Amino acid sequence: MNLPIQPPYPPMEARTVEHIPAGDEWQYEPKWDGFRCLVFRDGGDVYIQSKAEKPLGRYFPEVEAAVLALRATRFVLDGEIVIPIGGVLSFEELLHRIHPAASRVQKLSREHPAMVLVFDMLADDGKNLAELPLRERRARLESFAEKNLSREGDVRLSPATTDIATANEWLTSVRGGLDGVIAKRLDLPYQSGERTGMQKIKRLRTADCVVGGFRYGANSKQVGSMLLGLYDDEGLLHHVGFTSGIKAADRAALTNKLEKHIREPGFTGRAPGGPSRWSTERSEQWIPLAPDLVVEVQYDHFSEGRFRHGTRFLRWRPDKDSQQCTFEQVTRGGRPSLRLLSE
């Protein structure tokens, strides 16, 4: 490729903060739940790079085709690959794409096509824009979008605002269902691989879960993690993840508390230890509990029937009936919507 910016090129990254920064120097964007990517096009050549600087194109052939269909022929865009299903973004479908079989990828791309939401422009028609402040890059991107993109296309412009009230609405609105908000300094150039001029503010997601079991720590008789469960519509308790990070000073008392509730079967639906991407050598070594204990946890993402990462224990909920701990908490309004693109 004969572009002023060549792959592999480290994308600008964000530092996590608790609150949306205020001031005239900030631009705010929705934080989409997808795969970050850089899109390089030079004539008939397209290269899609992941955040980890790896090629993504073979997993998303329909995205390559959409980029080739644009009128412009020489550019570098920064954006997010997402898969909309019924107007709602599905991270699970993105995960299914990372598959070694080309035939499987082709089948999935036809069933649920992916698209790209673009929010920055690093090169346009042979000119390096990364050295320009975001204020000027955004103007160039919006001009590019007017000529090349559409609201119904497979490559779309992601919204941006300088109004902090709008950013707060994106962060807190159930209607939006977004992952959070990204804040970027308008006066800074694109800082490849750096986190200084970009911040991310995540939505605080919490859920009340049944403690359906626990695991002892490695080579220990004290608790190492609590296993979490949620009820489905048939009243079955499914294992959905774990919470650990228990303070050493609290382990003895917590172990004593949990051991008083030991009773089979623990989980009556999907139980720990089944084959999955999360399985380990200790997956089957767990102790079942009666569904008496309820905890409130904080989590980042919920997909494919479980918390994608470990959760953070917030507090016990003795006031909460275990039957109220249902999947509705983590599915209602919890997935990013594309409605913002049409507003």
Active site residues: 31
**Residue 225 in contact with residue 209, Cβ under 8 Å?**
no
DSSP code for 158: P
Using CA atoms, how far apart are residues 228 and 288, in angstroms rounded to an integer? 11
Give which of 309, 322, 310 is closest to 267, Cα–Cα: 322
Cα Rg of the chain (Å, integer)? 23
Instruction: Give the Å distances, CA to CA, from 81 to 158, 175, 261.
Output: 11, 21, 45
**Residue 53 in contact with residue 8, Cβ under 8 Å?**
yes
Using CA atoms, how far apart are residues 147 and 189, in angstroms rounded to an integer? 24
**Residue 35 in contact with residue 96, Cβ under 8 Å?**
no
Does residue 8 have a cis bond before it (omega within 30 degrees)?
A: yes
**Residue 130 in contact with residue 123, Cβ under 8 Å?**
yes
Sequence-ordered alpha helix ranges (H) in the chain:
61-68, 91-97, 102-111, 134-148, 164-172, 251-259, 328-331
120: alpha, beta or left? (left if phi > 0; alpha if psi -120 to 50): beta
**Residue 175 in contact with residue 339, Cβ under 8 Å?**
yes
Burial of 241 (0-12, 13-18, 19+ CB in 10 A): buried
